[in-house]
């Protein structure tokens, strides 16, 4: 699986945001929703071999992680409002949560936790930390399709998070000469991997979730 | 200038859509709004050397073109709802329109017209038509920074539009092995151009429009 881990210092873990003012009321969850689209949706299809983790650290209730699995996800639409509604319903489902991921909706699982719960699931996979000063992804070997890409939010990475990931052996890579939105970073990584491993590595499935 | 021309067969030219159900009520204007973000916004900045044309052919009132100029645009936010509100206000401003572009809001100009009005502004520039069967953009010379990229919608290009662009000498190019959303296509083109011509060719400006 191709794994994208988006770590937000501000995005509300509670789901208590307004659809009418997503950026201000959700702690910039909008940014993660757009990255979710970029990770999972292609024209008229869904990438079945992509796994996305949204680490939500905002709000007073403690952090949570939302995992979206392309193998089983349904009802993903590309527009931001539809994704916001789906994520809000998932976060506010009332399911009693633990440190283990529990599926709340098809392909969408939640846990009470943070980066460590994600790392427990992805142990042993080659990992990359996106950083505008990292080495160019086009020059990286990226020898296997199974890999994990850690991407920060509009504030970057917290120092403790960065240190933890570097200690794990993550390589720092960049996608180009400009500092881009997270969703553009995801798009560029998907494209590089599609080119290396072919579309077969990431088949689009039917039924299509819409263009 | 780096120019992106997005041609939608269905997006409503009238602006008479609902923010609560953008995809269904706007003829998929949502797709163009996301492409607008990808074209113009970077992390904490706006690309001043990018020009975007949205050709809106949907609805019964005749087509219109919205031009967004990175040199003078203001108040562009990355979230889809904010962009939808800005575009709706522009389309519904009541300004009397003609075949010539008229600035309705800072950096946002409108005309009553279609592809021909766009071509009249961009005559002589090297042009490219995005097509998944085209030659790989990474192998293209792209010798100059001033270039025009024509991108279809969820339905592709109408045959007459494709024929007109090919007759102009547009080269058909692709960005990778999968059929992607328009916004991902724009992101990949911007990245390729940033890599060739450097971030200086497309400086981010202050004040930032938000991350």
ipTM for the assembly? 0.94
pLDDT(B204) > 80: no
With tokens 């952090």, the residue in question is: A63
Q: What is the pLDDT of residue A143?
A: 67
C-alpha torsion A55→A138→B170→B73, nearest 10 = 40
Q: Do B31 and A184 touch (CB under 8 A)?
A: no
B28 to chain A: which residues are within 8 Å by CB?
211
β-pairing, B64-69 with B108-112? antiparallel
pTM for this prediction: 0.94
Mean pLDDT of chain B: 92
Residue B209 pLDDT class (50, 70, 90 cuts): very low
C-alpha angle A136-A137-A138 in degrees, rounded to nearest 5: 90
Q: Do A38 and B184 touch (CB under 8 A)?
A: yes
Nearest CA in chain B to A192: B176
pLDDT tens digits, B55-78: 999 999 999 999 999 999 998 999
Residue B199 pLDDT class (50, 70, 90 cuts): low
Please answer whether residues B50 and B202 qualify as being in contact, where contact means their C-beta atoms are separated by less than 8 angstroms.
yes
Nearest CA in chain B to A153: B211
Name the minimum distance, in Å, from the CA of A98 to any CA of chain B. Answer: 32
Per-residue pLDDT of chain A (211 residues; tens, 9 = 90+): 999 999 999 999 999 999 999 999 999 999 999 999 999 999 989 999 999 999 999 999 999 999 999 999 998 999 999 999 999 999 999 999 999 999 999 999 999 999 999 999 999 999 999 999 999 999 999 867 789 999 999 889 999 999 999 999 999 999 999 999 999 999 999 999 999 987 655 555 433 334 4
């Amino acid at each position: 699986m191709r794994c994208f881990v988006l770590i937000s210092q501000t995005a509300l873990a509670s789901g208590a945001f307004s659809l009418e003012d997503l950026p201000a009321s959700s702690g910039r969850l909008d940014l993660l929703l757009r990255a979710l689209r970029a990770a999972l949706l292609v024209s008229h299809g869904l990438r079945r071999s992509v796994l996305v983790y949204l680490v939500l650290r905002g709000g007073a209730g403690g952090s949570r992680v939302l995992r979206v699995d392309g193998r089983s996800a349904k009802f993903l639409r590309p527009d931001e409002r539809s994704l916001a509604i789906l994520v809000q319903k998932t976060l506010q489902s009332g399911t009693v949560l633990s440190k283990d991921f529990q599926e709340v909706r098809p392909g969408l699982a939640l846990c009470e936790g943070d980066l460590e719960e994600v790392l427990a699931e992805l142990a042993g996979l080659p990992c990359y930390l996106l950083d505008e000063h990292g080495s160019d992804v086009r020059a990286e070997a990226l020898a296997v399709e199974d890999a994990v890409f850690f991407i920060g939010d509009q504030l970057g990475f917290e120092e403790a998070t960065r240190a933890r990931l570097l200690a794990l052996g993550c390589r720092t890579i960049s996608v180009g000469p400009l500092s881009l939105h997270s969703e553009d970073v995801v798009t560029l990584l998907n494209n590089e991997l599609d080119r290396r491993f072919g579309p077969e590595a990431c088949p689009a499935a039917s039924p299509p979730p819409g263009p």
